[in-house]
Amino acid sequence: GQQLNQSPQSMFIQEGEDVSMNCTSSSIFNTWLWYKQDPGEGPVLLIALYKAGELTSNGRLTAQFGITRKDSFLNISASIPSDVGIYFCAGHRDFGNEKLTFGTGTRLTIIP
């Protein structure tokens, strides 16, 4: 089936550090999305990527859609306490396909 594998599974960093996480698949995805989930809440869209090679920023967040269309990364610069949460990549396998496949998640913890 369609699997999106995220790494690392969890990260423990100090406030102010930069963060990098990625998402890979054995299949091509035509849209890549990055979501953040806080405890007890639904996923919130951070960045959407629609074109292979695309690099997009949203404040301190930067994400890229891999050239092979089988991977994406998310960077967070100068982390702050509210960055804590679980980050999920997600993708649409086909154009016109409504199903969103989610990755396995990266849990970010900030050490005081």
Write out the residues near other proteins by the rule CB under 8 A: 30-31, 33, 35, 40-45, 48, 50, 88, 90, 92, 94-105
Cα-Cα-Cα-Cα dihedral of 13, 14, 19, 21, to 10°? 10
Distance CA 67, CA 49 (A): 12
Q: Which is nearer to other proteins, 13 or 102 (CB)?
A: 102
Tell me the closest approach of the beta carbon of residue 76 to other proteins, in angstroms: 18
Tell me the closest approach of the beta carbon of residue 101 to other proteins, in angstroms: 7
Q: Which is nearer to other proteins, 47 or 76 (CB)?
A: 47
3-state class (DSSP) for residue 83 = helix
- Residue 104 sits at the vertex; the CA angle it makes with 32 and 39, to the nearest 5 degrees, is 100
Q: What residue type is 29 in one-letter code?
A: F
Q: Number of helices and strands (H, E) in the chain?
A: 0, 11
Q: Which is nearer to other proteins, 7 or 18 (CB)?
A: 7
Tell me the closest approach of the beta carbon of residue 16 to other proteins, in angstroms: 29
Q: Which is nearer to other proteins, 66 or 103 (CB)?
A: 103
